[in-house]
């Protein structure tokens, strides 16, 4: 019995220029990482990297009210993790929330009533 010859399916090639939005902050660590900050041609795991790309990072300005609402929604819907409390408190303070305990307590009420994931 003959074995069928398998053909590899090539992923679709991206079209350029390409623009996308992300909630992930891209700072010096990410820029210097192997993926974004690679300053030399390379071949790794079968991927030949000889083309150069120009990457522009731009912060999208949004009203602080939208950011506060997004933070509260995140607090209400995320799975509870004690490691998130201090960073979210700090984010609330940075956004000018006068009393973060009241702001984040709303999230606790949502969690207790079963509104969390």
Q: Which of 7-11, 29-33, 53-57, 108-112 has the highest mean pLDDT?
A: 53-57
- Upstream peptide bond of 17 is cis (omega within 30 degrees of 0): yes
* C-alpha to C-alpha distance for 42 and 115, rounded to whole angstroms: 48
Long-range contacts of residues 98-105, Cβ cutoff 8 Å, at least 24 apart? 103/68, 103/72, 104/75
Tokens read off for 90: 């700090």
pLDDT tens digits for 28-50?
887 777 677 788 898 988 989 89
Tokens 């990457």, located at residue: 55
Does the pTM of the predicted model rise above 0.85?
no
Write out the two tokens for 43. Answer: 């071949």
State the pLDDT at residue 13: 80
């Amino acid at each position: 019995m003959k074995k069928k010859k398998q053909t590899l399916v090539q992923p679709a090639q991206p079209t350029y220029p390409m623009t996308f939005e992300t909630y992930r902050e891209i700072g010096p660590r990410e820029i210097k990482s192997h993926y974004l900050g690679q300053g030399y041609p390379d071949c790794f795991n079968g991927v030949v990297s000889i083309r150069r790309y120009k990457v522009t990072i731009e912060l999208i300005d949004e009203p602080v009210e939208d950011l506060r609402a997004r933070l509260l929604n995140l607090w209400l819907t995320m799975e509870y993790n004690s490691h998130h409390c201090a960073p979210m408190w700090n984010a609330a303070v940075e956004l000018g929330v006068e009393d973060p305990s009241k702001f984040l307590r709303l999230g606790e009420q949502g969690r207790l009533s079963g509104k969390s994931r």
